[in-house]
Chain A
Amino acid sequence: MKTKNVRFILPLLLVLGTAFMLSACDTESRHGRSARFIPVQHNGRVKSFEAFSRQVLSYVTERETWNRKPAYVVMLESMSDPNAFRKNPWIRIGYRELVSYLGLPEDRQFFSYEELLPSADRIESLARSSQAKRDQDVRPTKLEQKGEALYSHMLEVKQLIAGETFKLIPVTGQQDWVSPYLVSGARSDEFKNMIRSFHEGRYGDFEEHARSWTNRVHEETALKYYRKIRWEVLYYDWRPFQWAWMLYLAAFLVIAFRKRAKFLGAMLLSAAFSLHTMGLLLRVLILSRPPVSNMYESMIFMNWVLMAAALVFSMVRRNLTVAGVGAFISALVMIYADLLPIDPSLEVLVPVLRSNYWLTIHVMTIVSSYGIFGLAMGLGHRHLILDWRKKLPKKEAEQSAQLIHRVIQVGVLLLGIGTVLGGVWANESWGRFWGWDPKETWALITFLGYLIVVHLRYAKILTAFGIALSAVLGFLLVLMTWYGVNFVLGRGLHSYGQGSGGMGWVILYLALEAAFVAAVLLKKYSRPRKKA
């Protein structure tokens, strides 16, 4: 039995590890690595050239890499060829209808700026009518939405062509940096020479140039961005969250299937959790703001709370089971976070979200409650699966139900407090405590849902099976509040969680969950059980 499990776990780790190393090696072998540290002022923040390139590339192409080249290489190569930005077939139109509406070849997804230029008028008017509808609180058609997105992608490329995007030279006494392509002078020539050396394949020269350029910018800005840029490149190289989910998955497998390897399980868990924590801290340090400002960050943070709570419960009960369940859910959430197109890039905030004490507390409390409910959901699944396999004697079932109930109670308290704090923030920012905004309303619906569970449990109506099932179903409400309001309903004040897509994955989850619940219910109630 034991050996069988080892055989199962080790290859998995091996495969994951190799895949990861391979993708890492890909970056190692490229030229121009020093360029990644060059500071760039972009979207309101000074960031590394690495982050800048990734962001621009993923914005335009909706892909992480292009032609199998990492973002900074794509950017450097394009910068050294005057026509590249114009001619690269890299602007993605992921919507067939739009392609045919613009009269472009329908078998392609990627187009160059030049190819799109004749249709620019049409794209612009789509963007306009979309904007006009939005202003009137009417939802634009999908064609208009996609046209609007394409329009802003074209603008981005237009700015690349003009060289406006490359704000590389700091100006003393001024907030705005300037682009070497828009000013003339020694610095501008120096930069262009540097790019030329890359173009001509003098990579040694290029590395040296890039390093001295970077050092000079840091000197001029009094090392203000030095550490942040180092951290940022480190963050991208290191990919702490990718490692974390692999370790979480491994920890889960060890805890679930090798019950005696407690030490190994605990080690894997703490390694994963430390990486997770460090990744979060890095983001906080780079951006100087709490890590809950967009969907990606809130997923990672929710996950962190989930895991922290799981570890606390495990420690109190001196039992790794809760932590194991937590690790499994954490791994899944992190994989989801990577799969969903929810912009993991490091961005600045809209004014209403900035520097607000209440907002920070509000969002962190709410997201924490999601984490706690996530843990309850995981424990609910465990309970139902064990119950299904008849591996849960009555006493243990009652204990497990009690644990789930406890976890839900913590969640209810956090969600309630978080929602009220949201009201406090709204009152501080907009002058109203409650306005039936969809996100507010759904937080209330979720709260009411779990409240019913808690009341039923107090009334002793809900059995152990019932509470496990409620924990699973209740999480669907959380999902609706958290993801659905922004992505499905797509209305309301909280729409800065913006974005669309990833729907397929969420539907997959819902389908699997529905199948699971249906199967469990069928099994439970198909034959009347004998009463003990």
Chain B
Amino acid sequence: MTLIKILGSLSFAIALIAVLALVLIASTSLESLYGTSFAQKFFYETGWFDVLLGLLVVNIVCSTILRFPFKKKHTGFIITHIGILMILAGSFLTRFFGVDGQIMVFEGEQQAQIIQNKYELLLHSPETGHVERFDLAVRAGARRQTLKNLGNGAAITLDRVWDNAVEKNEIAEGPPGTPPNPAVELSLQSERVGLQNNFWLVKNDPLDPDSGEISMGPATFALKDKPVEGAATIPAGTAQLIVRSDKTGDETAVDLKNIPTGDTPIGKSGFRIVGIQYYPDARVGENNQIVNGSNEPVNPAVLFHIYDAEGRHERHIRFALYPDFESMHEKEGQGRFALSYDLRVDAQKEKPSGSQPALWIYAGKDSWSYESRSSQGAMNGKLEAGKTYATGWMDFKFRAERLLDHAVVNRMVKQADKSEKGGLAVQIAIMKDGNVSETEWLLADKPKALSIPGGQILAAVRQKVTDVPFSLKLKDFRKVDYPGTHQAASYESDVSLHDPAENLTIEKTIRMNKPLDYKGYRIFQSSYIQDPAQGEASVFTVSKSPGVFLIYSGACVLFSGVFMVFFVKPFSSLMTKEN
């Protein structure tokens, strides 16, 4: 009884409210500094925050018990507190039994799954085709959890789950025998802009095609091969792919500006070139596909297949400016045809140009040099490690911290700084007889193959996908603008919802603030994609919140109670002992 008295006391209530208010002030201030996910992770989604709200419930329940048996004057008080409890109960219901996810549908397509804002780990055995799924709960520390027993004392374990991790590079001079790969660490400073920045430029990073170039605000920094003087020049306008059989000496040249239709035989060697695609300005697009940036020969590349007489085939990609590219990225079994390839294109000779500030570093065989350009003119000279040079733009200076000739790039997964935006990273380990034999970091949507005793297993981390009892087809998406502008006045989607269980189809237009309700699910227009290449798509938020009715009615109860307490005298007493 004493405990109830303390827990139900007004001073305890006031203390709780005050603590809650202070905590919220702290969380919003930190959110302003470190972003929304920070506040969610360290405040709203923590156990102690739940405990705080739970204590509020305890306080309300206890204070209500204390007033038993109720009198007429307690009516307002009781109703108010019942209202608060209903709202809290409703939000707990939604939190634990609600569904919240997204559906992205392109026009004309349909979807019956929602992507939730939660992640799962998949282990896939290629031999059996068996897939195991594990829900991932983010945690700060390391804790070993066995996921799968492989027999013979071997197991796969889950060690770490970080939600704000980034992949960082560690760059160092490789051991003797490492192929040449220039890399430079630059530090850039400007007192006027208050900038002090260190970064690496690496000529060749197998996982990052843009490692040799960085844009920072208006300026670009690039590491380039020293232009070879006196090299054989290719006649202007040439674009040729030359394939030669090392065995028979047969040779075929294909004019890439006028690619012949059908297969091209390579002399009488029996080989054929099939499906030639020429990219004058090759860039790496999404999903690591090669896409063409323009029709100027900036980075010419060609993609083609070779078939032999027996129908075996190889796929090749050649870059005119990087003739060694393929040999470095060679796949298993490639190159068995004993053919040589030569891509001869009159590529644009690059030079920093225009008024945009640019700093180019040239790695030569024995010495390094630099060239800096801006609207004010050009500067160039020899580059030595540890020396500081002016760039010529404003008061920017740079220094070559380290110059490496045979760099090796190692990827490390680290917790992101508070200012960085990171993603989910999961560390798993393969155990043998209680000892770690191998650990591996997995990033979201980047599957990896792991070798385990007796074979391989594919591991992937991705957003959790849930089936919904209906499929949603997008018939048409429209963005309606305010007259005479490109400013959106409304987004709307014509959809048809099909429920196979009930054999029911509903046609409706979903627009901002006008969701579609079906079987407790609400489908909202939350975003859209308008892409000339991919077409139009709508992004819908799908949510099911079973507690919302309780919350609404709780709010009504609450405020009628508050009204009584405040303004209807006979029902307005808060106190236990009062006349």
* B-binding residues in A (CB < 8 A): 41-46, 97, 100-101, 103, 118, 121-122, 125-126, 129, 136-138, 143, 167, 175-177, 348, 350-352, 354-356, 359, 409-410, 412-413, 416-417, 420, 423-424, 427-434, 436, 438, 441-442, 444-445, 448-449, 451-452, 455-456, 458-459, 485, 488-492
Which residues in B have their C-beta under 8 angstroms from that of A420? Answer: 555, 558-559
- Complex alpha-carbon distance, A352 and B511, angstroms: 10
Give me the 6 closest cross-chain CB pairs, A-B, nearest first: A44-B482, A431-B543, A125-B218, A489-B32, A420-B555, A448-B21
A121: which B residues are within 8 A, CB to CB?
A: 218, 354-356
Q: Which residue of A lies closest to B27 (CB)?
A: A441
Which positions in B face A, CB cutoff 8 Å?
A: 10-11, 13-14, 17-18, 20-21, 24-25, 27-29, 31-32, 35-37, 39-40, 43-44, 91, 94, 100, 192-193, 217-218, 354-356, 375, 394, 419, 421, 481-485, 487-491, 512-513, 515, 522, 524, 526, 541-543, 545, 548, 551-552, 555, 558-559, 562-563, 566-567, 574-575
Minimum CB–CB distance from B84 to chain A (whole Å) comes to 11
B513 touches A356 (CB 8 A): yes
List A contacts of B484 (CB < 8 A). Answer: 41-42, 44, 167, 175-177
For B483, what are the chain A residues with a Cβ–Cβ distance below 8 Å? Answer: 41, 44-46, 175-177
Set of chain A residues within 8 Å of B394, measured between Cβ atoms: 101, 103
Q: Identify A354's interface contact among B11, B485, B512, CB under 8 A.
A: B512
Evaluate contact between A436 and B524: CB separation under 8 angstroms.
no
CB pair B524 A490 closer than 8 Å: no
Which B residues touch A442, using CB under 8 A? 24, 28
Other-chain contact of A451, B17, B32, B513 (Cβ < 8 Å): B17
In the complex, how many angstroms separate the beta carbon of A277 from the nearest chain B beta carbon? 27
Docked pose: A449 CA to B17 CA in angstroms: 8
Contact status B551-A137, CB under 8 Å: no
Q: Are A413 and B559 in contact, with the CB atoms below 8 A?
A: yes
Minimum CB–CB distance from B213 to chain A (whole Å) comes to 15
Q: Check B489–A138 contact: CB distance below 8 A.
A: no
Q: Are A351 and B558 in contact (CB under 8 A)?
A: no
Residue picked from A431, A452, A488, most chain B C-beta under 10 Å: A431
Q: Determine if A429 and B513 form an interchain contact, defined as CB atoms under 8 angstroms apart.
A: yes
Asked if B512 and A118 sit within 8 Å, CB to CB, the answer is no
CB–CB B17/A452 < 8 A: yes
Q: Is the CB of B522 within 8 A of A431?
A: yes
Q: Can you list 14 pairs linking A and B with CB atoms under 8 Å apart?
A: A44-B484, A44-B485, A46-B483, A101-B394, A118-B375, A121-B355, A126-B217, A129-B217, A138-B35, A351-B488, A354-B490, A442-B24, A445-B28, A458-B10
CA distance A410 to B575 in the complex (A): 21
C-alpha spacing A137/B526, complex, angstroms: 18
Question: Do the beta carbons of B91 and A434 come within 8 Å of each other?
Answer: yes
Known contacts A101-B394, A354-B512; decide if A430 and B355 are in contact (CB<8 Å): no
Once the chains bind, are A143 and B193 in contact (CB under 8 Å)? Answer: yes
Minimum CB–CB distance for B436 against chain A, Å: 35
A residues in contact with B32, CB < 8 Å? 438, 488-491
Query: By the criterion CB–CB under 8 Å, are B491 and A351 in contact?
Result: yes
Partner of A433 from the list B354, B551, B563 (CB cut-off 8 Å) is B551
Which residues of chain A are near B356, meaning CB under 8 Å? 121, 125
Known A44-B483, A432-B100, A452-B14: A412·B562 in contact at CB below 8 Å: yes
B513, A355: Cβ atoms closer than 8 Å = yes
Q: B545's contact among A126, A427, A452, by CB below 8 Å, is which? A: A427
Please name all residues of chain B whose beta carbon is closer than 8 Å to the beta carbon of A125 when the two chains form the complex: 217-218, 356
Contact (Cβ within 8 A) A445 B25:
yes
Contact A409 B94 (CB under 8 A): no
Contact with A100, one of B192, B485, B490, B558 (Cβ below 8 angstroms): B192
- Check if A44 sits within 8 Å of B487, measured CB to CB: yes
The residue that A428 contacts in the complex, of B513, B526, B567, with Cβ under 8 A, is: B513
Contact B566 A352 (CB under 8 A): no
- Could you tell me if B524 and A431 are in contact, using CB atoms closer than 8 angstroms? yes
Nearest CB of chain A from residue B554's CB, rounded to whole Å: 9
Is B559 within 8 A of A430, CB to CB?
no
Q: Is the CB of A44 within 8 A of B481?
A: yes
Cβ of B158 to closest chain A Cβ, rounded Å: 28
The residue among A43, A448, A490 with the most chain B CB atoms within 10 A of its own CB is: A448
B-chain residues with CB within 8 Å of residue A452 when the two chains form the complex: 14, 17-18, 21
Min C-beta distance of B400 to chain A, whole Å = 24
CA distance A424 to B563 in the complex (A): 20
A424 to B548, CA, bound (A): 9
For residue A414, which residue of chain B has the nearest CB? Answer: B559
Please give, as numbers and ranges, the residues of chain A lying within 8 Å of B487 by CB-CB distance: 43-44, 348
Q: How far is the CB of B31 from chain A (nearest CB, A)?
A: 6
Query: Which residue of B has the minimal Cβ distance to A136?
Result: B421
For the complex, give the distance between the alpha carbons of A433 and B14 in Å: 26
Check B100–A122 contact: CB distance below 8 A. Answer: no
CA–CA, A409 and B91, complex, Å: 26
B218 touching A126, Cβ below 8 Å: yes
Chain A residues with CB under 8 A of B10: 455, 458-459
